[in-house]
Structure 1
Amino acid sequence: MNIRKYLSGVLVVFLFIQMALTPAAVVKAAAAPPSLSAEGAALIDVESGRILYSKNGTKKMRIASLTKTMTAIVAIEMGKLDAQVTVPPQAVGVEGSSIYLKNGEKLTLEELLYGLMLRSGNDAAVTIATHIGGSVPGFTYLMNEKAAMIGMEHTNFTNPHGLDDSNQHYSTPEDMAKLSAYALHNPVFRQIVSTKVKDISWEGEQWDRRLLNKNKMLHLYNGADGVKTGYTKLAKRCLASSATRDGRQLATITLNASDDWNDSAKLMDWGFANYPLQELVKKGQEVKPDTPVTLEAGTHLVTTNDFQYPLQTTETEAIHKRVVMGESTVTSKMNGQLAGFLQLYLKEKMIGQVPLLVSVDAPTLAAPQASRSMWQQFWGIVSGGLWSA
């Protein structure tokens, strides 16, 4: 009997210790961001657009050839890749990086884009600008229009290549992160910036131009797939980089960074480790309105898609949801129709919304639990992020 009492006591103590330790494991704070050489830097989750890290993120700075990210995406969206482009005289001999274009030479727009992004050809930049915008000023107008559309609020372009021509050509780490994320949603852009070696035509020569990508991150970092290097005497070393792991893509910006390769690698390592994707909504999940809405018997509101968002573990408690309905009454005649949205907030900021459809059939997904138990979190019985009530 004494032995039984002793073992029972040991078990109670063990369970108490487990219960005490489990919350600490769940709410463990994220590791501190790495120390960087960069004067300005930003880290962004490409899919969601969430800025995960910022150092002097809104400071206006020179961006050197990172400018060409904007040049490329404007050209891709407005031009035809197979269009034959004639090199204008003003593009020949532009200072800095070059793919040695000749006056009157013809290349496709796609070939020029590879020369622009892999070898940072300033001559390619001017050729593209003249072809798309009619002139360099005409093209920079288009660049600034696109910047405003993306939400780059502290950016101004005066040329398509990033050479130090004035104090009026500038951006910020956060704005350039937004630009990288926007451009990386374009499959043509993604293909170009992830290419390590490309051969393009060289009119009048016996061989093609062989372009080796200047972005060493493609060789140095596991999963690296972009974006652009940059350097001028005034801007110093600049780098836009991206990497994809387990289907998730992050992008970094470092400006005036003496150790840019390591800065980017450390930032992405930190981002992947400390901002895992949390599943906040599942497709087909039934949602109960939190506002006065009449649901006809047998009708349900179900989500149209999954929703994931990068969150530190300690942030999940700050997520809350709101149902916004377009109708005050839901009937069976509305089957399959859009009835409202499930909006998701991180504190007071809306981070996304999922459409809600009317379904007259029983939902295929059981109504999820409002929260997960401590033991489920500890042992991983239920994976993902918060479940919606």
Structure 2
Amino acid sequence: MDVKKTVAAVIIICVLVMNVRMEVFAAPEELYAQSAVLMDADSGRVLFEKNGMEQRPMASTTKILTCILVLEKAGLGETAEVSRNAASQPKVHLGVRAGEKYYVQDLLYSLMLESHNDAAVILAEHVGGSLEGFAALMNEKAKEIGCADSHFITPNGLDAEDEEGAHSTTAADLAKIMRYCITLSPKKAEFLEITRTSSRAFSDVEGKRSFSCVNHNAFLGMMDGALSGKTGFTGKAGYCYVGALTRDGKTFIVALLACGWPNNKTYKWKDTRKLMEYGLKNYEYRNVWEDIQVERIPVENGIPESGELWDTAYTEAEIEGKEEVRLLLRKDEKVSVEVEKAEQLAAPIEAGQQVGTVRYYLGDGLIREFPIKIRNSVREIDISWCAEKIVEKLCM
């Protein structure tokens, strides 16, 4: 056998195997966005991030939070009056006039399809009483969702600053807000219906003026399963985008900030597709449940099942919960399980008492936990029981 040829063949095979592995598991490279996140919408786990925790202005992607707040706090059939402040908002705007009235539902389509800045202000003033009042509601909702690094000032995303800082968020927080909008909010169905609508025609309440809105979220037609999304741009923020896709039982969210400036309008679509394809290709659901047998636990000073004083009392324990832990995982990701359980108990103990926990970890992160609980009660050996045993023995 030619040793040189054999060695060369082995090297080639190793290189091919390594390349395949890198192709499957390597993180996306060469993203245009300065901040980016790919999130699993079901669990909220960040699957990939590039400067995902860095605060940046987010332009009109702000409007997904405005939309869901209005949906949760106002009726679609309510009417909202245009203030002078709303009518003076810069383009892109609907072109409303002070004193006119519009239905909330129509303004939401104006907000999300055409990204009209005046529609955002009308809705904010209607729900919050003022822009400051609505901003307080936005920040309260953001904290409720779990956004620790966001600050909201305007309902339309125009660049702004106040004593607490700039109007800004992170790619990770923006993805959390989208996750709330499409999976957790009681108004998620209405949010999806509005953001997926291709066009909408409406008029003011009196029917004097007519309008037509067209959805500018081009991603809806780019990939099968595209679910929702919102674009944004200001001179300070650059091009921004947040979008969601569901396919093969998996739902992903992509959030991009500072994804180019004019003339780089298409960069956000390239980055979104790249991240979505990475998620679809590399992540699958696996049931990582482990059938752990929990040994029975000795009970100090407990009444044995045999009734004999010299025997040891035991109690049975079981893991409480559904015997399934489905996680969206990459093929090379492994889940570890940690069992924490009392080695001995002291009587008396009651059925249902928690005596331990089974924890599932992905890396250092806790992803799921189940309590270990007592199945049967054990009485304490006391004077009364001892007296009963003495009488029993005497009567034998």
Shorter-chain TM-score range: 0.7 to 0.9
In 1, distance between residues paired with 2:358 and 2:72?
32
Aligned residue identity for 1:58: M
Task: Describe the superposition over 1:96-144 as per-residue Cα deviations: whole angstroms up to 9, x where unpaired.
Answer: 2222333233333222222211111111111111111110001101111
How many angstroms does 1:33 deviate by? 1.3
Q: What residue is the counterpart of 2:89 in the other structure?
A: 94
What is the rounded CA distance, in whole Å, between the counterparts of 2:249 and 2:168 in structure 1? 32
Cα distance in structure 2, aligned partners of 1:349 and 1:226: 29
Letter in structure 2 aligned against 1:156: H
* Per-residue deviation, residues 334-372 of structure 1 (Å, max 9, x unmatched): 69x999864321122111235779999xxxxxxxxxxxx
Change in CA separation of 1:53 and 1:298 when aligned onto 2, cut-off 3 Å? closer
- Between the aligned partners of 2:202 and 2:333, the Cα distance in structure 1 is 48
Distance 2:298 2:74 in 1: 49
What is residue 363 of structure 2 aligned with on the other side? 347
Aligned to 1:201: 203
TM-superposition CA deviations, 1:177-222 (whole Å, max 9, x none):
1111122213222222222223333345567533211100001122
The equivalent residue for 1:73 is 68
Q: Aligned residues: percent identity?
A: 31
Q: Which amino acid aligns with 1:192?
A: I
Q: What's the CA shift string for 1:211-253, capped at 9, x where partnerless? A: 2111000011221111100011221111111111012210111
**Which residue of structure 1 lines up, in the alignment, with residue 278 of structure 2?**
270
Shift of 1:56: 1.3
Equivalent pair of 1:304/1:355 in contact (CA under 8 Å): no
> Structure 1 residue 247 and structure 2 residue 270: aligned?
no
Give the match for residue 215 of structure 2. Answer: 213
Q: Partner of 2:288: helix, strand, or coil? A: strand
Say which SS state the counterpart of residue 314 (structure 1) adopts: coil
Residue 276 of structure 1 aligns to a residue in which SS?
Answer: strand
Residues 1:260 and 2:268 are matched in the alignment? yes
Out of 106, 113, 129, the residue aligned to residue 134 of structure 1 is 129
Q: CA deviation at 1:65?
A: 0.4
CA offset at residue 287 of structure 1? 4.8
Q: CA deviation at 1:297?
A: 8.6
> Which of 233, 236, 239 matches 1:234?
236
Which residue in the other structure is 2:306 paired with?
A: none
Contact persistence 1:34–1:270 (CA under 8 A): no
- In structure 2, the CA distance between the partners of 1:350 and 1:103, relative to structure 1 (3 Å rule), is same
- Give yes or no for contact 1:44–1:53 (8 Å, CA) kept in 2: yes
Aligned letter for 2:155? P
Cα contact 1:152–1:175 (8 A) shared by 2 = yes
**2-side partners of 1:347 and 1:91: how far apart?**
49
Counterparts in 2 of 1:1-389, with a 5 A limit? Answer: 28=21, 30-166=25-161, 168-185=166-183, 186=185, 187=188, 188-205=190-207, 208-257=210-259, 258=264, 259-281=267-289, 287-289=292-294, 292=297, 301=319, 303-304=321-322, 306-316=324-334, 318-322=335-339, 342-353=358-369
Change (3 A) 1:279 1:95: same
User: What amino acid is the match of 1:196?
Assistant: S
How far apart, CA to CA, are the structure 1 residues paired with 2:229 and 2:87? 25
**Contact 1:304/1:357 (CA < 8 Å) preserved in 2?**
no
Residue 345 of structure 1 aligns to a residue in which SS? strand
Structure 2: how far apart are the matches of 1:272 and 1:290?
41
Distance change in 2, residues 1:78/1:311 (3 Å): same
Q: Is the 8 A contact 2:41 2:253 kept in 1?
A: yes
Judge conservation of contact 1:79–1:132 (CA < 8 Å) in 2: yes
CA drift at 1:254:
1.2
Q: Which amino acid aligns with 1:56?
A: N
2:274 partner letter? K
**Whole-Å separation in 2 of the counterparts to 1:290 and 1:296:** 10
User: Counterpart of 1:176 in structure 2: which amino acid?
Assistant: L
Letter in 1 for 2:192: R
In 2 relative to 1, CA 296–265 (structure 1 residues): closer, same or farther, beyond 3 Å? farther
Q: Distance in 2 between matches of 1:276 and 1:208?
A: 48
8 A Cα contact 1:66 1:229, kept in partner:
yes
With a CA cutoff of 8 Å and minimum separation of 6, indicate the structure with the bigger relative contact order.
1
Measure how far apart 1:278 and its partner are: 2.0
Deviations 1:236-279 (CA, angstroms, capped at 9, x unpaired): 11111111101221011111213111110111100111122222
Segments of 5+ residues of structure 2 without an aligned counterpart are 1-12, 300-312, 377-396
- Count of aligned pairs: 333
Deviation string, structure 1 residues 317-342 (Cα, Å, up to 9, x no partner): x43244679x979xxx969x999864
| TM-score, with structure 2 as normaliser | 0.73
Structure 1 gaps, min length 5? 1-19, 361-389
Residue of structure 1 in register with 2:383 after alignment: none
* One-letter identity of the residue aligned with 1:191: E
- Any idea what SS the aligned residue of 1:315 has? coil
- The answer to whether the Cα contact below 8 Å between 2:317 and 2:373 also exists between their aligned partners in 1 is no
Query: Do the aligned partners of 1:28 and 1:313 also contact (CA within 8 Å) in 2?
Result: no
The secondary structure found in structure 2 opposite 1:67 is helix
For the pair shown, the structure with the greater C-alpha radius of gyration is 2
Q: Is the 8 A contact 1:119 1:214 kept in 2?
A: yes
